[in-house]
């Protein structure tokens, strides 16, 4: 049985576990994951003193283990695996990191330290997505850690030595194995039991959900939304299937969040029955722990986290710490012209949010920040973050009025009444126009490939991307389809600024930019029309005008490709879409069946939806011979 639906998604992928630990293998096997085992040759010799916290050491070691395997396989097998999983478990007590004991005396020293006390077990996990370009390995690293508290009973010397002589402590972090004889030493466990065994399956499943089902199944997050890893996430879904996929994931997430440490035990032979009486005693405490409304608290503080990231982005903190730069709070404060105490608080907050790392030498970016928050990185979300801070944040400040009045709050937020959002609000000055274009550019850059390849578009020779903005989707379309020419159609004040968004060194001769108003002007002829993030902005009468125009121009066999976030049947998710609607214009988000109905109304047939798992989903319909109203 596979409790985590995303594990099914990995079936067609070559997954490698970079660990020789039979316990990790058993945990992942029981979860239904299919993988090869290639033990890492990375020597666990990182300087522990250089890490500010023990989990950082565990995460870094896990990452290095996985990278060593990925690199070795890339060279040896001429092709890297798709995913490499690395893990490292450490035990910490009294500020010391304990790994595997070197000999019996070392095991005794470790167990004596743990005797009668509470200690922490940290497992760092790295999930590495690999691809190879010209035999060069390219990796994308996702990492996390899990902490579990374990309390040892007061144990006699005799019992400790008896346990040591059993031989069990020798290959185990901290010198004990909780899943076997070592379970007898333990009075209680707070947290994920399997984390102590060696692999935090619960957190791992949540992380996979976050990576492969970002907005629908977890608040973005992905942050870390993610670039979307190269795992097949496309599905053709009806509303019902969408809902059931969503609710399965939701159920699993709820279960994982709501259950105590023992929930993961249900997955196999590492379950309850092997935990032992001593551990069961903790259930009362765990019940209390699970009563803590963590979901609510996350919501309560969510706005603080967003604003901290916005401000750090605005002050270009991530640009400063780009690459391997390690800077102290004072250096950062000097560079960004801010107070040292305020900067330190901001940097610590970003560290807590896993955007930065902190060591004795200073702060540095996490991979996530390097990839998405540095303003000139290829997949930077900086433009979108600035738009969110300057435009969306003020609108949300007036959310109460928006709800009471049922209108957008442009006037209250910006002193502008938006008749046409694009003319009056987004583009009212050069600065706001460029900020908006930057925001659109950063999102579509991440999602364009998934939209372009959601369906096989190779039969089309000409496409017209209406409201195509900076032409980013067009760039990906011409890369994917060598016979396709694309016209990007947008308002004049957008087209006049597209030059600063064009890639260097890429042949863009099959892209043409045409300016005009798709409501008032003629639109270019094409076999494929594209509306990416256009429909949700407009009220029904405008949509009617636009789709009628497209339908009239479309010859039989031609098609309309729509890219939007597709809502579930009940329209209560994904959260990104429903939350966006709160501050929106006169338009609305739609479900898969609503898009089908809409496209069919304008003469399109065989309408299919694909949920990409990325920012935008894709809907394609083909023009019928007769136009049915």
**SS3 helix, strand, coil % of the chain, rounded to 5?**
45, 20, 35
Which positions from 146 through 185 interact with ligand SAM, judged by CB under 6 A? none
* Residue from 90, 211, 444, 528 binding ligand SAM (CB under 6 A): 444
| Binding flag, residue 282, ligand SAM (CB under 6 A) | no
Nearer to ligand SAM, 206 or 533 (CB): 533
Q: Is 523 helix (H, G, I), strand (E, B) or coil?
A: coil
Among 54, 467, 471, 613, binds ligand SAM (CB under 6 A): 467
Beta carbon nearer to ligand SAM, 125 or 466: 466
279 or 444: CB nearest ligand SAM: 444
- Residue 74: which H helix or E strand, with range? helix 54-76
Chosen residue from 209, 261, 402, 491 binding ligand SAM by CB under 6 A? 491
As measured in angstroms, the least distance from the Cβ of 441 to ligand SAM is 7
Residue number with the smallest Cβ distance to ligand SAM: 467
Stretch that binds ligand SAM, among 280-288, 400-408, 467-475, 551-559 (CB under 6 A): 467-475
Q: Which stretch binds ligand SAM (CB under 6 A): 182-190, 207-215, 223-231, 487-495?
A: 487-495
Structure tokens at 2: 């596979």
Query: Does an H or E element contain 52, and which?
Result: none
Among 469, 476, 535, 599, binds ligand SAM (CB under 6 A): 469
Give the SS3 label for residue 606. strand
Report d(CA 317, CA 298) in Å as an integer: 24
Residues 47, 77, 82, 88: which is the catalytic one?
88
Distance of alpha carbon 603 from alpha carbon 400, whole angstroms: 40
Instruction: For 317-330, give the DSSP string.
Output: HHHHT-TT--B-HH
Q: Are 365 and 357 in contact (CB under 8 A)?
A: yes
**SS3 annotation, 131-185:** EEECCEEEEEEEEEEEEEEEEECCCCHHHHHHHHHCCHHHHCHHHCCCCCHHHHH
Answer yes or no whether residue 384 interacts with ligand SAM by CB under 6 A.
no
CB of 505 to ligand SAM, least distance (A): 22
The nearest distance, CB 605 to ligand SAM, in angstroms, is 24
Q: Which of 33, 84, 228, 440 binds ligand SAM (CB under 6 A)?
A: 440
**How far is Cα 37 from Cα 31, in angstroms, rounded to an integer?**
15
Which window, 16-24, 265-273, 389-397, 463-471, contacts ligand SAM (CB under 6 A)? 463-471
Q: Which of 148, 349, 462, 532 binds ligand SAM (CB under 6 A)?
A: 532
**Which residue, 173 or 488, is less far from ligand SAM as judged by CB?**
488
Cβ proximity to ligand SAM, 260 vs 438, nearer residue: 438
Q: How far apart are CA 380 and CA 443, in angstroms?
A: 9
88 is catalytic: yes
Give the integer Cα–Cα distance in Å for 27 and 203.
Answer: 13
- The reply to whether 518 sits near ligand SAM by the rule CB under 6 A is yes
Among 372, 422, 481, 595, binds ligand SAM (CB under 6 A): 422
- The answer to whether 10 and 231 are in contact (CB under 8 A) is yes
From residue 535 to residue 574, the character string flagging contacts with ligand SAM as x (rule: CB under 6 A) and all else as - is --x-------------------------------------
Measured between its terminal Cα atoms, the distance across the chain in Å is 47
What is the pairing mode between strands 528-532 and 559-564?
A: parallel
Determine if the peptide bond prior to 158 is cis (ω within 30°).
Answer: no
Asked whether position 261 contacts ligand SAM by CB under 6 A, the answer is no
Query: Within a 10 A sphere around the Cβ of 393, how many other Cβ atoms?
Result: 16
By CB under 6 A, name the one of 534, 535, 561, 599 that touches ligand SAM.
534
| Integer-rounded Cα radius of gyration of the chain | 27
Give the range of 109-117, 302-310, 528-536, 547-555 binding ligand SAM by CB under 6 A. Answer: 528-536
Nearer to ligand SAM (CB atom), residue 23 or residue 576: 576
Q: Which is nearer to ligand SAM, 422 or 622 (CB)?
A: 422
Alpha-carbon torsion (216, 218, 220, 223), positive or negative = negative
By CB under 6 A, is residue 533 in contact with ligand SAM?
yes
Contact present, 540 and 511 (Cβ < 8 Å) = no
Q: Classify burial at 554, counting beta carbons within 10 Å of its beta carbon; exposed 0-12, middle 13-18, buried 19 or more.
A: buried
Q: Smallest distance, Å, CB 452 to ligand SAM?
A: 12
Residue with Cβ nearer ligand SAM (362 or 467):
467
Only segment of 30-38, 217-225, 300-308, 526-534 that touches ligand SAM (CB under 6 A): 526-534
Interatomic CA distance for residues 448 and 469, integer angstroms: 13
Q: Angle 175-176-180 (CA atoms, 0-180°, nearest 5)? A: 155
Looking at the Cβ atoms of 413 and 440, the one nearer to ligand SAM is 440
Asked if 344 contacts 334 with a C-beta cutoff of 8 angstroms, the reply is: no
Task: Return the closest-CA partner of residue 457 out of 610, 295, 602.
Answer: 610
C-beta closer to ligand SAM: residue 204 or 422: 422
Interface with ligand SAM includes 86 (CB under 6 A)?
no
Establish if 16 lies at the interface with ligand SAM (CB under 6 A).
no
Minimum CB separation from ligand SAM for residue 467, in Å? 3
Smallest separation (angstroms) from ligand SAM to the CB of 466? 6
Nearest-angstrom CA–CA distance, 438 and 386:
9
Give the nearer residue to ligand SAM in terms of CB position, either 491 or 620: 491
Among 519, 522, 597, 606, binds ligand SAM (CB under 6 A): 519
Q: Does 381 bind ligand SAM (CB under 6 A)?
A: no
- CA torsion angle 58 61 63 68 (round to 10): -160
Q: Which stretch binds ligand SAM (CB under 6 A): 85-93, 352-360, 392-400, 511-519?
A: 511-519
Closest-CA residue to 353 (of 293, 291, 298): 298
Block residue for tokens 């898969």: 592
Question: In what helix (H) or strand (E) does residue 290 lie, and over which residues does it extend?
Answer: helix 283-291
How far apart are CB 595 and ligand SAM at their closest, in Å?
A: 16
Active site residues: 88
Which residues of the shown chain bind ligand SAM in the complex (CB under 6 A)?
422, 440, 444, 467-469, 490-491, 494, 517-519, 532-534, 537
């Amino acid at each position: 049985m596979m409790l985590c639906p995303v594990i099914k998604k990995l079936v067609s992928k070559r997954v490698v576990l970079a660990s020789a630990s039979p316990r990790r293998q058993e945990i992942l096997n029981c979860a239904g994951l299919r993988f090869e085992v290639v033990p890492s040759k990375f020597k666990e010799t990182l300087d522990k003193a250089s890490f500010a916290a023990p989990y950082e050491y565990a995460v870094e070691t896990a990452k290095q283990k996985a990278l060593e395997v990925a690199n070795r396989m890339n060279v040896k097998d001429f092709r890297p695996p798709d995913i490499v999983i690395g893990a490292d478990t450490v035990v910490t007590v009294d500020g010391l990191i304990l790994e595997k004991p070197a000999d019996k005396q070392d095991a005794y020293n470790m167990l004596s330290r743990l005797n009668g006390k509470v200690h922490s077990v940290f497992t760092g996990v790295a999930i590495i997505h690999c691809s190879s370009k010209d035999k060069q390995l390219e990796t994308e690293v996702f990492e996390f850690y899990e902490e579990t508290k374990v309390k040892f009973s007061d144990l006699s010397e005799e019992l400790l030595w008896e346990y040591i002589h059993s031989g069990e402590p020798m290959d185990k972090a901290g010198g004990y194995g909780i899943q076997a004889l070592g379970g007898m030493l333990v009075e209680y466990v707070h947290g994920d039991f399997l984390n102590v065994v060696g692999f935090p399956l619960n957190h791992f499943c949540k992380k996979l959900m976050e990576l492969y089902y970002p907005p629908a199944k977890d608040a973005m997050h992905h942050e870390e939304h993610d670039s979307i890893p190269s795992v097949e996430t496309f599905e053709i879904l009806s509303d019902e299937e969408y809902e059931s996929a969503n609710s399965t994931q939701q159920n699993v997430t709820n279960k994982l969040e709501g259950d105590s440490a023992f929930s993961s035990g249900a997955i196999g032979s590492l379950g309850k029955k092997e935990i032992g009486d001593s551990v069961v005693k903790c259930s009362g405490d765990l019940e209390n722990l699970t009563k803590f409304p963590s979901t609510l608290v996350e919501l309560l503080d969510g706005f603080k986290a967003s604003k901290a990231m916005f401000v750090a982005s605005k002050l270009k903190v991530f640009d400063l710490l780009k690459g391997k730069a390690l800077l102290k709070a004072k250096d950062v404060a000097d560079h960004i012209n801010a107070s040292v105490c305020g900067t330190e608080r901001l940097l610590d907050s970003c560290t807590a949010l896993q955007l930065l790392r902190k060591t004795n030498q200073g702060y540095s970016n996490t991979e996530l920040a390097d990839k998405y928050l540095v303003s000139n990185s290829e997949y930077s979300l900086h433009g979108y973050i600035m738009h969110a801070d300057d435009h969306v944040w003020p609108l949300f400040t007036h959310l109460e009025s928006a709800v009471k009045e049922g209108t957008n709050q442009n006037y209250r937020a910006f002193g502008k009444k938006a008749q046409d959002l694009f003319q009056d609000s987004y583009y009212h000055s050069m600065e706001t126009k460029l900020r908006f274009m930057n925001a659109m550019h950063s999102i579509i850059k991440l999602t364009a490939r998934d939209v372009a390849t959601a369906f096989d578009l190779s039969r089309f020779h000409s496409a017209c991307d209406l409201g195509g903005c900076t032409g980013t989707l067009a760039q990906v379309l011409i890369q994917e389809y060598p016979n396709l020419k694309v016209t990007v159609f947008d308002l004049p004040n957008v087209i006049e600024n597209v030059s600063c968004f064009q890639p260097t060194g890429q042949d863009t001769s099959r892209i043409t930019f045409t300016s005009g108003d798709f409501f008032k002007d003629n639109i270019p002829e094409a076999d494929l029309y594209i509306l990416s993030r256009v429909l949700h902005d407009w009220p029904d009468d405008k949509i009617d005008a636009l789709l009628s125009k497209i339908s009239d121009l479309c010859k039989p066999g031609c098609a309309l490709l729509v890219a939007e976030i597709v809502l579930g049947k009940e329209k209560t998710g994904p959260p990104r879409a429903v939350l966006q609607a709160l501050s929106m214009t006169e338009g609305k988000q739609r479900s898969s069946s609503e898009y089908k109905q809409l496209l069919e109304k304008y003469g399109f047939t065989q309408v299919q939806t694909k949920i990409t798992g990325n920012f935008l989903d894709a809907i394609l319909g083909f023009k019928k011979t007769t136009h049915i109203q």
